[in-house]
A and B are shown apart, each in its own frame.
Chain A
Amino acid sequence: MTAATYTLTDTRTLLHRNLLHALRYPAMSLSSLLMPLIFLLLFRYAFGNTLGAGIGGPYINYLAPGMLIMTATSSMVSTAVSVCTDMTEGIVDRLRTMSISRFALLAGHVVGNWIQALLAMGVLLGVAVAVGFRPRADALHWLGAIGVAALTAWALTWVAMAMGLSAKAPEGASSLPMPVILLPFLGSGFVPATSMSPGLRQFAEYQPFTPITETLRGLLLGTHIGTDWIQVVGWCVALTVAGYLGSRRLFDRRAEL
């Protein structure tokens, strides 16, 4: 076998380990679903009527795509915490002394947490449909929507990975993604960015979650998405690269602690 296939095999082995952990202690993964679920129901039933009046159409249709993105951001907490916790365990030192590619050591975690984030998004979508969300996407749009959701979750998982590696203790790791979790609020997660006050609107227009949410919403509701998707791909690639490079660096440096 070549080095590349070894890396792939090792990634798969370590992914299996990561998923076993998640299966055995599902509380962490489930907790990241809690916040977007509560927001979904709260905004659907408590504030939705008023907010929806200003937007037009059933508010749940506007809300659900935003909450899907929020599920991806809130999954960052469990990623960061689980990575940080793992780093404090002796097993990681053992893995470092073995002939395993450094990429596989990181990728096992990232792929595992990415799959968990996707599952959480799936559950949220199910609940959203149950409370009245009616996507109008055709097959191609669905494919695009899944692609945007998956790409976003992938990029955010790498960023969360770097956050988890930079924190000394799991408590610290849990608070690092907070600013990112707040970003969908300051974008078009709940209300259109155009409805915000000028300063905030400008911020909303230039932060990644506005084009991401808009594109996902457009794809799910079958409306025009424009060229926002280019920004989405750009942001996701940039975040992935930054997250990966940061993770590599932090992972290597951690050994010296």
Chain B
Amino acid sequence: MTPPAIKVVGLRKSYGDHTVLDGVSIEISAGTIFALLGPNGAGKTTMVRILSTLSRPDAGQAWIAGRELASEPDAVRAAIGVTGQFAAVDGLLTGFENLALMGRLHHLGKRESRQRATELLEKFDLAEAAGKALATYSGGMRRRLDLAMTLVGKPRIIFLDEPTTGLDPRSRRTMWQIVRDLVEQDSVTIFLTTQYLEEADQLAGRIAVLDQGRLVAEGTPAELKKLVPGGHVSLRFTDAAQLSLAARALGTISRDAEELTLQVPGDGGVRSLYSLLDRLSQANLEPAELTVHTVDLDDVFLALTGRSACLTAASITENGAGR
């Protein structure tokens, strides 16, 4: 078996009294995408800062590409690439100059640096803006340039700290495709942090959920989805009489008398829906509204972190507005 690309054992970090990471252990195999999922303030960025040599842990050890983080930071730096939450680009240079600068710092030589810059600008759909000052770039363009700069040195392991936070849906999808291509074509290892469950579900082979400095769950997206109760169909009726008739007919116990809804367990498949509708029509009942709810990572996330959806949504907006 090949050694893991990233191995973390008992990582701890606190700032004063505030514990940010409370004994985190992770193992990530080479050539896979790993997503660290968590609400704001869970410690995701601290984790990336430590693993990318920017910050020192209080306790614990980590090996990146087989090199020990604390004793060989320079060897680790040579193996990794980092794209942070806030675009790490030089705002006073053009896109081309930014990439050429990275090439020179990777000791590629003048000619090769320029060549690689041109290649990456092409690949990331930035060729037209190559000679323009970064002030004219959109958020999505800056993120793409940021990632392109990370790729100049052809790193084997890439840290992506919230790569799509604040991007519009289209830019987000472009970014996802770029990340998938990286793993498929160049078989790099990706350590991704995100607060978007959909993003983790879309990209990652394994997901770990970080909450208040601890890993509260880890597994494939499918494994995580099994952690919470299954999907259901919810039926809303127009009055209480209908509601109790339906409850009797369907034999369901989960009902909300105030909202006049029933929740029928089921996977939301067409076959089970047919049988449900059959039973309803036999009882001569017609619900005012029918919604199918399948399990997604949102349920897992909320169940594991014990936070309400509004809170998560609120913190996301807050984060977006702070930019």
Contacts and interface: CB of A to CB of B under 8 A. Distances in A.
B101 A13 contact: yes
A13 to B, nearest CB: 4
B92 A24 contact: yes
Contacts of A129: none
A256 B81 CA distance: 19
14 contacts: A9-B107, A13-B101, A14-B105, A24-B92, A25-B92, A90-B87, A90-B88, A91-B89, A93-B84, A94-B88, A94-B150, A97-B53, A97-B80, A99-B74
Interface string A1-26: 10000100110011011001100110
B54 A98 contact: no
B84 A94 contact: yes
Given A24-B92, A90-B87, A90-B89, A95 B77 contact: no
B54 A1 contact: no
B82 interface: yes
Contacts of B150: 94
B153 interface: yes
Contacts of B105: 10, 13-14, 95, 98, 100
Contact of A93 (B54, B56, B74): B54
Instruction: Give the top 6 A-B pairs by smallest Cβ distance, nearest first.
Output: A90-B88, A94-B88, A99-B77, A13-B104, A99-B78, A97-B82
Interface of B: 52-56, 74, 77-78, 80-82, 84, 86-93, 97, 101, 104-107, 149-150, 153
Contacts of A139: none
A13 B103 CA distance: 10
A96 B107 contact: no
Contacts, number: 63
Nearest to A256: B55
Contacts of B93: 17, 20-21
B90 A17 contact: yes
* Chain A contact patch, size range: 20 to 34
Interface string A92-133: 011111111000000000000000000000000000000000
Contacts of B56: 256
Given A21-B92, A97-B82, A100-B105, 14 more contacts: A9-B107, A10-B105, A20-B92, A90-B84, A91-B89, A91-B91, A96-B54, A97-B53, A97-B80, A98-B77, A98-B106, A99-B74, A99-B77, A255-B55
**Majority secondary structure, B binding face:** loop
Contacts of A90: 84, 86-89
Contacts of A6: 107
A98 B150 CA distance: 10
B88 to A, nearest CB: 4
Nearest to A20: B93
Interface string A236-257: 0000000000000000000110
Given A90-B87, A94-B84, A255 B54 contact: yes
Interface string A52-93: 000000000000000000000000000000000000011101
A97 B75 CA distance: 11
Nearest to B56: A256
B224 to A, nearest CB: 30
B62 to A, nearest CB: 14
A6 B105 CA distance: 9
A89 B84 contact: no
B153 A89 contact: no
Given A1-B107, A90-B84, A97 B91 contact: no
B101 A17 contact: yes
A249 to B, nearest CB: 15
Contacts of A24: 92
A24 B54 CA distance: 29
Nearest to B149: A94
- Greatest chain A CB density within 10 A among B52, B53, B81, B105 is at B105
A188 B99 CA distance: 49
A97 B77 contact: yes
Contacts of A1: 107
Nearest to A101: B74
Contacts of B55: 255-256
A96 B74 CA distance: 10
A80 to B, nearest CB: 17
A96 B159 CA distance: 14
A10 B93 CA distance: 18
Contacts of B77: 97-99
Contacts of A100: 105
A210 B80 CA distance: 51
Contacts of B78: 99
A18 to B, nearest CB: 10
A208 to B, nearest CB: 34
Contacts of B82: 93-94, 97
